[in-house]
Amino acid sequence: MKRFEVVIVGGGINGCGLIRDLALNGVEGLLLDKGDYSSQTSQGSSKMLHGGIRYLENLDFGLVQEALEEKNLWLRLTPHLCFEREFYLPLYTYSKYRPFMLKAGLLLYDFLSHFQNRPHAMLSKAQALAQVPSLDERSLLGAGKYYDGVVDDAKLSLECLYDGLLEGCAQAKSYCEVTQTRKTPEGYEVSFRSLKTGQEETVAAKFLVFTTGPFTDLLLPKLGIPWTPQLLPSKGIHLWLKKGTIEAHGSVVLTTRDNRVVFVIPQRNSILVGTTETPVDQEIFDIRATQDEIAYLLGVLREYFPGAQLDESAIISTFAAVRPLVREEGHTGALGKVSRFHKIYRPDQSSYVLIGGKYTTFRRMVQELAQEIVPRLGHRYRPNLTLNPLRQRSLMPTFGEKPVLTRELLRQIIKTEYVTTFDDLVRRRLSLLEGPEDLKDVLGLPVAEVRSFFT
């Protein structure tokens, strides 16, 4: 039986960040995921590294400051994965915020970034329309402008994993479903089954860590881990729209009449729109957007961009994910008001559970956990190691000029970037927005031939 110091279940941004942190500190770890790494919640975000300007309203100043610090850190460490972008927040006569309130909020946002953000500005109506010509000009007062980051969320997770696996003490297995855990005097025995081959394996670990996000409340009871449900799952959907559908020279933040926030972010030669916040009442693994949810976002866009041609023909693709919000005692309000703080639990002496938080603050969250685990294993924890740049870049960049996808490059990606399925390749290694059925000539190679690499 193979033995590890730590087994991590869940290969999203937290799992990938944690295996990296532990490996950099010399811990022998194994990461397991039921699907591809970063294929669930961690590829279903709004593709932003941001402080969360709307959380100022909840007085979550500490969270916003931490997120802004992390956003600016990753802008420096991974400029190939993320970049700074201007965001415009239009103000109307019916908006919940008055101009002086927005001005104060933007100034506070800059202050919490230690003035590392590019400075905000308040725009007149004419200035706002010059930057976002598609905006509805009726009742428009102007706009606030501030700066946040845009990121390829899946690839940041993957490159954290690659960096950790460069250390010989780390391993990872995708498409492996954990089927049983057994408590032992030394820690845990963890059994898992390959979903590709059906082969079963059992390994031993001194510590078992769950970074399973929205699946935590469902999974832990099945595995016999002492656990009381702690999550308030929230479903969010996004649309990829064709370039030019909405004319905007930057990103736009819409505060809707029903008090939701919708982002419109031009990127990847298209436009990303999202998100919704709705309770979850369906199977959450590989969750999809519904027609009602798509219609809701299109309706919001038609209200704020009345001249745009916004119907389903403008949609390239859609995606959805579930946020693992931590349940707050006594909370009865909207899901958007639930704090994005995280929590670390210890069901017993040999297991940990990390849930909640924001994508942007993943490094801080896993560091809090790593600095507890590492000394318990007899290693010295060195917190500054995760401040180093990631050492293995994706062969197909998300932003900027891309190399021609040749057969040789395709084989290299599959070999070095832990690709198991065609979907892994298309969605996360190549960062293509089209669904597999719509690819046609997008790949530059016949789709059937690319699929044949996985048969």
User: For position 350, which CATH number holds?
Assistant: 3.50.50.60
Per-residue pLDDT, 390: 97
Q: Are 242 and 314 in contact (CB under 8 A)?
A: yes
Per-residue pLDDT, 440: 61
Per-residue pLDDT, 76: 96
Mean pLDDT of 306-322: 92
Report the percent of the chain where pLDDT is more than 70: 96
416 and 302 housed in the same domain? no
355 and 376 housed in the same domain? yes
Evaluate if residue 264 carries a pLDDT over 90: yes
Per-residue pLDDT, 210: 98
pTM comes to 0.93
Mean pLDDT of 420-434: 91
436 pLDDT band (50/70/90 cuts)? low
**Is 210 within a domain?**
yes
193 and 312 housed in the same domain? no
Which of the listed residues 328, 353, 377 is the one where a domain comes to its end? Answer: 328
Per-residue pLDDT, 270: 94
339 pLDDT band (50/70/90 cuts)? low
Mean pLDDT of 25-45: 96
Mean pLDDT of 392-400: 93
319 and 236 housed in the same domain? yes
Per-residue pLDDT, 143: 96
137 and 244 housed in the same domain? yes
273 and 283 housed in the same domain? yes
**Is 204 within a domain?**
yes
292 and 259 housed in the same domain? yes
Structural domain containing residue 197: 2-42+154-230+337-387
Mean pLDDT of 31-46: 95
Mean pLDDT of 272-288: 86
Per-residue pLDDT, 71: 96
Per-residue pLDDT, 126: 97
Per-residue pLDDT, 441: 60
37 and 166 housed in the same domain? yes
Per-residue pLDDT, 7: 98
360 and 222 housed in the same domain? yes
Per-residue pLDDT, 60: 86
> What 3 state SS string does the chain have?
CEEEEEEEECCCHHHHHHHHHHHHCCCCEEEECCCCCCCCHHHCCCCEECCCHHHHCCCCHHHHHHHHHHHHHHHHHCCCCEEEEEEEEEEECCCCCCHHHHHHHHHHHHHHCCCCCCCCEEEEHHHHHHHCCCCCCCCEEEEEEEEEEEECHHHHHHHHHHHHHCCCCEEEECCEEEEEEEEECCEEEEEEEECCCCCEEEEEEEEEEECCHHHHHHHHHHCCCCCCCCEEEEEEEEEEEECCCCCCCCEEEEECCCCCEEEEEEECCEEEEECCCEECCCCCCCCCCCHHHHHHHHHHHHHHCCCCCCCHHHEEEEEEEEEEEECCCCCCCCHHHCCCCEEEEEEECCEEEEEECCHHHHHHHHHHHHHHHHHHCCCCCCHHHHHCCCCCCCCCCCCCCCCCCCHHHHHHHHHHCCCCCHHHHHHHHCCCCCCHHHCCCCCCCCHHHHHHCCC
**Is 397 within a domain?**
no
Per-residue pLDDT, 250: 94
**Mean pLDDT, all residues of the chain:** 92
Per-residue pLDDT, 335: 52
221 and 302 housed in the same domain? no
438 pLDDT band (50/70/90 cuts)? low
401 pLDDT band (50/70/90 cuts)? confident
Q: What is the pLDDT of residues 165-204, one digit of tens each?
A: 999 999 999 999 999 999 999 999 999 999 999 999 999 9
Per-residue pLDDT, 28: 98
Report the percent of the chain where pLDDT is more than 90: 78
Mean pLDDT of 393-409: 90
**Is 402 within a domain?**
no
Number of domains in the chain: 3
Evaluate if residue 331 carries a pLDDT over 60: no
